């Protein structure tokens, strides 16, 4: 049955009713579609929110690399290289002998220094013993000399007293001799006149001769006493000279002490020379300061000089990551925050944490830092180095090598 459409066309009502779904079924389809759209929107919003939250929990940069302190190993003495015990890229332990320098010259120098030290110690010991001996001898000599001076002075006084006594005896003898000679003259005259007996004259003659002899003896005694005085005075001069010499003893003791101190200083100098010689002998074997891989430039037969670099050791157990973050990424970054380190070479991820943040931007450490006060200034976002260290046991297989590119993620929340 045909019906007229408002447009003027005839429409078959039976056909329209056959193709148009019932109104209830159409509403149910629209409701499902709307619910699906709402669910998709909610999933997108929730996923976007969590994605935004996740991306805001960490800061990442691709301007990062593995760093380490390279240990240059150089010679401390001059000599001829007799043996090289390592090859390039060989891993060595701390304390391992890397290079050996001919030690013969340094062995001879050490033996000579040992002999010089023994000689200096013997000299110092001898002088140390002589100091108390010299001090004791000086005190004894000074006491003996002082006693000699006192004895000489006493001898002079005694000799002078003997001179006075001898002079008095001489005067008495001379007086007796004068009387005896006078008596002899008188008895001679009386005997000639035969007024006295000849026996009296003989007695007077004997007395006169005895008195004359007594005068001579008294003169000899006086002369001897005067000589004794001269001898005592001479002895006093000698004693005073001896005392003056003994008085210089303390200075001699001081001189001996000074020589002993100089000998001790010489011993210390010789001991230092021996220690230096022994050190030089030890330096003939160049050992590894740390554990790591070796990069060598030395070969057997080289003549090396002090300070000449022979090897470089890369300590693979002491590496870290230097990440140059933009200054805008450091707002919430702190020391101790954990980090995931993605390695470009292997695709592996290592665990670590922020150890420190540099005190200045990277360009300030360059040879020619920028000078913003001159020319036209263009503001550029600066980068600040951040040191990230690995957690213990993360690099046991030594896959991280200094200079490798890495991408660190630092979790700031």
Averaged pLDDT, 312-326: 94
Average pLDDT, the chain: 80
Q: Which own/partner contact pairs does 218-221 have at CB distance under 8 Å and 24+ positions apart? A: 218/166, 218/169, 218/170, 218/172, 218/173, 218/174, 219/170, 221/166, 221/169, 221/170
User: Do residues 76 and 285 lie in contact, with contact meaning Cβ atoms separated by under 8 Å?
Assistant: no
**69 — phi, psi (to 5°)?**
-80, 120
Q: Lowest mean pLDDT of 32-41, 177-186, 402-411, name the range.
A: 177-186
Query: Residue 11: is its pLDDT beyond 50?
Result: no
- Burial class of residue 125 in the structure, from the number of CB atoms within 10 Å of its CB (0-12 exposed, 13-18 middle, 19+ buried): middle
Helix (H) or strand (E) holding 82: strand 79-84
Tens digit of pLDDT for each residue in 373-383? Answer: 666 777 888 89
Tens digit of pLDDT for each residue in 230-256? Answer: 776 777 667 666 666 665 656 666 666
Q: In what order do the strands lie in the sheet with 64-68?
A: 58-60, 406-411, 338-343, 349-357, 383-390, 319-326, 64-68
Q: In this structure, what is the dihedral angle of CA atoms 391, 394, 400, 405, given to the nearest 10 degrees?
A: -60
Query: Residue 6: is its pLDDT beyond 50?
Result: no
Query: Residue 333: is its pLDDT beyond 80?
Result: yes
Query: Residue 331: is its pLDDT beyond 70?
Result: yes
* pLDDT at position 142: 62
Tens digit of pLDDT for each residue in 59-72? Answer: 999 999 999 999 99
Tens digit of pLDDT for each residue in 197-218? Answer: 667 666 767 777 777 777 777 7
The CA angle 191-195-197, to the nearest 5 degrees, is 60
Query: Residue 153: is its pLDDT beyond 90?
Result: no
User: Do residues 98 and 287 lie in contact, with contact meaning Cβ atoms separated by under 8 Å?
Assistant: yes
Domains in the chain (CATH in brackets) are 57-71+317-411 (2.40.30.170), 73-102+285-311 (2.40.50.100), 106-275 (1.10.287.620)
Query: Residue 311: is its pLDDT beyond 80?
Result: yes
Confidence of residue 3 (pLDDT cuts 50, 70, 90): very low
Confidence of residue 10 (pLDDT cuts 50, 70, 90): very low
Averaged pLDDT, 34-46: 80
Q: Tokens 């010679």 identify what position?
A: 75
User: Do residues 98 and 258 lie in contact, with contact meaning Cβ atoms separated by under 8 Å?
Assistant: no
Helix pair angle (198-247, 104-192), 10° resolution: 160
- Rounded Cα–Cα distance for residues 327 and 167 (Å): 124
> DSSP letter at 405?
B
The closest alpha carbon to 86, from 77, 73, 76, belongs to 73
- Rounded Cα–Cα distance for residues 196 and 358 (Å): 150
Tens digit of pLDDT for each residue in 334-361? Answer: 999 999 999 988 889 999 999 999 988 8
- Rounded Cα–Cα distance for residues 166 and 26 (Å): 179
Query: Residue 132: is its pLDDT beyond 70?
Result: no
* Range of 35-44, 111-120, 193-202 with top mean pLDDT: 111-120
* pLDDT at position 40: 86
Averaged pLDDT, 177-205: 69
- Burial class of residue 53 in the structure, from the number of CB atoms within 10 Å of its CB (0-12 exposed, 13-18 middle, 19+ buried): exposed
User: Do residues 341 and 408 lie in contact, with contact meaning Cβ atoms separated by under 8 Å?
Assistant: yes
- Rounded Cα–Cα distance for residues 233 and 228 (Å): 9
- Rounded Cα–Cα distance for residues 108 and 114 (Å): 10
Confidence of residue 18 (pLDDT cuts 50, 70, 90): very low
- Tokens found for residue 289: 């300061």
Neighbours of 86 (CB within 10 A): 20
Confidence of residue 14 (pLDDT cuts 50, 70, 90): very low
């Amino acid at each position: 049955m045909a019906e007229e459409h408002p447009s003027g066309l005839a429409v078959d009502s039976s056909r329209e009713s056959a193709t148009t779904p019932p109104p209830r079924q159409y509403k149910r389809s629209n409701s499902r579609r709307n619910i699906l759209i709402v669910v998709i929107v909610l999933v997108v919003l929730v996923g976007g929110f969590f994605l935004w939250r996740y991306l805001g929990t960490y800061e990442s940069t691709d301007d990062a690399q593995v760093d380490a302190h390279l240990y240059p190993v150089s010679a401390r003495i001059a000599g001829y290289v007799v043996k090289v015990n390592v090859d390039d890229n060989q891993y060595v332990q701390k304390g391992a002998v890397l290079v050996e320098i001919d030690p013969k010259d340094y062995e001879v120098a050490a033996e000579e220094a040992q002999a010089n030290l023994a000689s200096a110690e013997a000299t110092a010991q001898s002088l140390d013993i002589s100091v108390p001996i010299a001090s004791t001898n000086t005190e004894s000599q000074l006491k003996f000399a002082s006693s000699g001076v006192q004895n000489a002075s006493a001898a002079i006084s005694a000799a002078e007293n003997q001179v006075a006594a001898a002079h008095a005896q001489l005067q008495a003898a001379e007086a007796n001799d004068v009387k005896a000679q006078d008596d002899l003259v008188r008895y001679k005259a009386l005997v000639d006149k035969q007024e006295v007996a000849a026996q009296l004259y003989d007695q007077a003659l004997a007395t006169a001769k005895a008195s004359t002899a007594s005068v001579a003896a008294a003169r000899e005694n006086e002369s001897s006493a005067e000589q004794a005085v001269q001898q005592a005075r001479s002895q006093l001069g000698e004693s005073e000279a001896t005392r003056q010499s003994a008085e210089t003893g303390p200075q001699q003791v001081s001189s001996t002490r000074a020589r002993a101190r100089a000998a001790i200083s010489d011993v210390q100098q010789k001991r230092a020379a021996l220690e230096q010689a022994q050190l030089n002998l030890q330096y003939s074997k160049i050992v590894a300061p740390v554990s790591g891989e070796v990069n060598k430039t030395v070969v057997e037969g080289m003549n090396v000089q002090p300070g000449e670099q022979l090897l470089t050791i890369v300590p693979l157990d002491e590496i870290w990551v230097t990440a140059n973050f933009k200054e805008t990424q450091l707002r919430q970054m702190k020391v101790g925050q954990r980090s995931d380190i993605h390695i470009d070479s292997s695709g592996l991820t290592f665990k670590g944490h922020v150890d420190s943040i540099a005190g200045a931007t990277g360009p300030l450490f360059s040879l020619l830092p920028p000078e913003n006060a001159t020319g036209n200034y263009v503001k550029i976002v600066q980068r600040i180095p951040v040191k990230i260290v690995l957690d213990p046991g993360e690099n046991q297989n030594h896959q991280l090598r200094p200079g490798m590119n890495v991408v660190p993620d630092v979790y700031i929340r």
